[in-house]
Structure 1
Amino acid sequence: MRIPQETIDRIRQSADIIDIVSDYVSLKKRGQNWIACCPFHNEKTPSFNVSPSRQIYKCFGCGKAGDPVRFIMDIENVSYPEALRHLAKKYGIEVEEEQLTPDELIRQNERESLFIVLNFAKEYYRTQLLETEDGRSIGLSYFRERGFLDQTLQAFELGFSPDQWDGLLQEATRRGYRTELLEKAGLILTKEGGSGKPYDRFRGRVIFPIHNVSGRVIAFGARILKADKNQPKYLNSPETEVYHKSQVLYGIFQAKNAIRQEDVCYLTEGYTDVISLHQAGIKNVVASSGTSLTIEQIRMISRFTQNITILYDGDAAGIKAALRGLDMVLEEGMNVSVATFPDGEDPDSYVRKMGAEVFRQHLSHHTNDFITFKTDILLKDAGDNPFKRAEVISEMVQSISKMPDPIKRQVFFQKTARRLQVDEQTLISESNRLVLKNLERPQERRSAPASPRPGQGPEPPPNELTEILNDFSSADPYEAPVPEKPVTRLKSRTPLAFQEEECIRILINYGGYELEPDISVCHYMLSELGAMEFTTPVLREMLNEIRQGFLTSEIRTADYFLNHPNQDFQLLAIDMVTVRYQLSENWEKHEIYVPTEADKLADAAFTNILRLKKLVAEQRMSEIKLQIGQAQEPEECDRLMLEYMHYKKVDIEIGGLLGTVIS
């Protein structure tokens, strides 16, 4: 189906970039814009900027940029129509789609088809739970025994699959869904070798739909309700195009707003832990769904908070599971605590037995930072054995060394030294030894040295200082710059291309400003440029568009290019209007006036034009030198020399105006 342009315009007008991005990351206001750690790449210092006035986002680390629709496309990995439907649903806009042609139907996105069939399965399981005799007597009874209320069943869209071989398959076939699509979605199985009839994967089980961060069902977890040693207690969907277990947290859709508001995420193991705590009013809770905690799951939490409290069972297995996940959280620069429960209790059973208020009190009294928690556990096992106590010290140093923040490391070294009754400097020395050891490991080097050529020594390693200096323009001047895959286009600019881009930046940001009565920045710069053609294709096209607009008395500013159908124009315009750093507003309190770029526009426009003309002259002189060397006739040589002298004179005159030194 095709979405009409009128509907697309309504969706775009309704979509608010702050509202949309806030569903995925925790934004903080800075000046007129908002900032966050980028959801598209791993970073510790926020470089992701959102401009509500422009309705755009821009990451100064990885280069991702766009408008609300582009953000949904990037974050959800969906097509343009899918992103529009997502936003339409969010803002309650009805989408009356036009019929696609047969060829377009054939090419319909398989990913969207998986979402559709998974949503059908969710509705089927819901219907079976609430509207069939077996569902009410078996499935609903199980949920009632666990104390789940109707609003809880609805919030998590819980369901029931009857104990039939092909109940879902029959209903899906009747609705027109293809068997191969059901199999790709992990809803049905076929015996090995492809022989026999396909059958339902989740038979005779209660169903826990698994949602992605935007609320779409991507998989299912299912619990068996009868004792059967030949069947696993829990059964999960297999990996599919839309479901990757290591990247998913159960309950993240229901919890994300509460995590942001509470500024802490409670991490549990199972589905029922999440649901019981949510029902008790503790909604900032997610589960790793019985898997070991993964780096992708940690980074998903970091979109909403830097604080994680792990809630695991009080048994030995639960404690060891907590220890395994702690170091990964630390490496991501997050703050991690651990809360344990009495033996035989888990978050689900404890909150149902004791109630929400007692549960919160228990958390406040039994939550420890990871140093205290891990030290207590390891010391308890070590006892008075000096060798085991030495191993405990080594273990603690390894964990603390993983923390990227040097201040946090210092604090925890001090605390650990007191707790273990050892000298703090001993811990720091051991940490330094570990860091050096890791740097020397060949497999962890950034790149292996190339094999030396005959008669030569080995080639030098990549010059890391050069890489850092290349990225300095996008780094915080108050911190050591750390390169994070900068945009290649910015690195590859020639001096002339740089000035061409600067010219376009001034034109689209300040083209309408008046330098003198009836003389705008656009008027002045286009007059000075004359018929000059830019060397960079996309900038040349943008300049031509500005010229065409000026001929009809239209000054084409940033908004024109931000909404342009040409995506290259959009991305360049975002780069040119987004400023990473903003001047502190405190200067006015001290009666100090700091001029803005708009205050110095005449000088900026004048200087840019001069530099452009100077670079063009220098480029032309280089070309003439080559032509003189190749000239065959004296007349041709004389003509070229005269032309060279003309450009040399221009170069010297402009150099004098700019105040540059001419050699």
Structure 2
Amino acid sequence: LRGTDLLISEGCTVNVASMPKGHDPDSYVKTFGAEDFKNKVIEQAKPIFEYKFALLKAEYDPNNPEGKAQISEGMISTIRRVPNEVLKASLISDLADKLSVPEQALMQELKKSGSVRQVVVKKPEVKTVSRPSQKVSPAEKLLLGLTTSFEGAWQKAKDIEIKRYFMNETARNLYDRILAHDTWESARPSRLMSELIEDDVASVLLRECVREVEGVTDAGKAFDDCLNHFNQREQVGRQETLRRQIIESERRGDFETLKRLQQEYNDILHRSKKANG
């Protein structure tokens, strides 16, 4: 379910659909049709928190202390990513009821999980600082994973220019390799891995990208969410540059340039407000 982390962190509502054994979304649609996929897979999707609780409950016994601890740890690792504090508190309260444990105890674990995760994430980075894949953001990995794992996302990437979103050279090269293929079938992860057999860094990155899309049921929406994320990142970066240039123009007394920069800055703000409704 790692591919859902970015979407949850961005405040998106995430539902998870279970695929029948031996099928991915594309093979299911080809075999049974789009209408069947919609009715029997998409419409049966469960909220991510309900889906994950069911998985953990099947693995651990919720009636003994050890099982409660394992389930709560697994759930809190996802709940802590929710940006809305009211929703987060509601999810903790619901989890406390399901496990018959004090809500305050779960809140304490939630607070601990944030600080513990920071330590866990930083340790391996020190050991593997030279690996380019460490510099690839989760959003970039998700976008690459979608492009190679889902035909619709691959076609969208063919139709628009998104290479500029990848800051890392290995990620850009992997993106080029994915889109160099004439068909999505030849750009799927299993095919790409055979091409990257002697490129350890790219192979590791590809595996990480594929893991990012595990649990994604609506690849089109996830792809669009990624593009919105990157566009916002670009706008924020441009705004910062404009602010510095505006200050410098004021200092020099270059009022013609100042007026142009202020207009561009205001245009970006206007587009941003319009996009956000």
The TM-score normalised by the length of structure 1 is 0.21
Question: Per residue, is there more helix in 1 or in 2?
Answer: 2
Larger radius of gyration between Structure 1 and Structure 2: 1
Structure number with greater CO (CA < 8 Å, separation at least 6) is 2
Question: Per residue, is there more strand in 1 or in 2?
Answer: 1
